Amino acid sequence: MRLARLRVGELTTYGFVEGEYILTREEIEEAAGFALPPYFSDFIERLVGEKDFRELILEASKRVPRALHLSQVGLLAPTDNKPKVLCIGLNYRDHAEESKAEVPDEPIIFMKPHTALTGPYDPVEYPSIVTQLDYEAELAVVIGRRCRGVKPEEAQEYICGYAAFNDISARNLQFKDKQWTRGKSFDTFAPMGPWIVTRDEIRDPQNLRIASRVNGETRQDSNTKNMIFGVNRLVSFISMVMTLEPGDVIATGTPAGVGIFAKPEPRLLKVNDVVEVEVEGVGTIRNTVVKGRV
């Protein structure tokens, strides 16, 4: 199942993607004969936590005509209600090595604000105080049920699904500050999507090809099996620190090949560049770099 948030004209809603078509919340409500939660995060919580609800929704979706084509809607970042955006630093050994950083012995957590989230095809802004704009291809985990203190072997029960994520980074500020908050937190610095592929459709999240491209040229090409800390360990580790809630996002780290560490010289993003992140079985996000409003 592919779950999406979208805008159709003045309406912001959510729905299922079926092939090249999308079934909206309003259409599914009409077919099901009962109201669905207004917030997408509340919807995925019920979808993950209530088997009967999921079966009713799937049955109703079969009665919805495939009338609204994806080309007719604007896809949004597939989470809402001000989620936590939790990111993992240095989670691929080759990326730690290219950045000349010590390979961590436990996950390194940092956060982006929810205001950094942007849609899968929306512009990424290049702020005026940034001089080194970079990309980072990542697999995102979307939490489906509230949890705290989860064991790794239980983690999958609390995951809704997976999306592609680009951890856009202002390297000049990241290195100047010697920590990551400012350089990672500008509006539009967290493109995500194009939808959530539910966990039942991803046989093994630790065996997915992950790649980035800039203007069609491959810059990163790896596999999630190369993570130092896998998805289940990350959910467990973070849940020992804070309560995870439906719609929260965990960006699981990036492999080698980011622009700042390219040889013989950095290959950073410029205005008008098109940067893509593709995750096998999940989808591709594509964002154009534009001049920032600030």
What's the predicted TM-score (pTM) here? 0.97
- Is residue 141 within 8 A of residue 159, CB to CB? The reply is yes
Percentage, residues of the chain above pLDDT 70: 100
Predicted local confidence at residue 80, as pLDDT? 97
C-alpha 75: how far from chain center: 13
pLDDT tens-place string over residues 249-285 = 999 999 999 999 999 999 999 999 999 999 999 999 9
Tokens for 172?
A: 């000049």
Determine the Cα angle at 84 with ends 285 and 26, to 5°. 65
pLDDT tens-place string over residues 242-252 = 999 999 999 99
- Partnered with residue 222 across adjacent β-strands are 210
- The stretches of 68-120 forming alpha helices (DSSP H) are 93-98
Average pLDDT over residues 113-118: 98
- Is residue 242 within 8 A of residue 111, CB to CB? The reply is no
Reported as a pLDDT band with limits 50, 70 and 90, residue 57 is very high
Average pLDDT over residues 173-188: 97
- CA dihedral sign, ordered 21, 23, 27, 30: positive
Residue 203 phi, psi (nearest 5): -60, -45
Q: What does pLDDT average to over the chain?
A: 97
- Is residue 90 within 8 A of residue 101, CB to CB? The reply is yes
Reported as a pLDDT band with limits 50, 70 and 90, residue 110 is very high
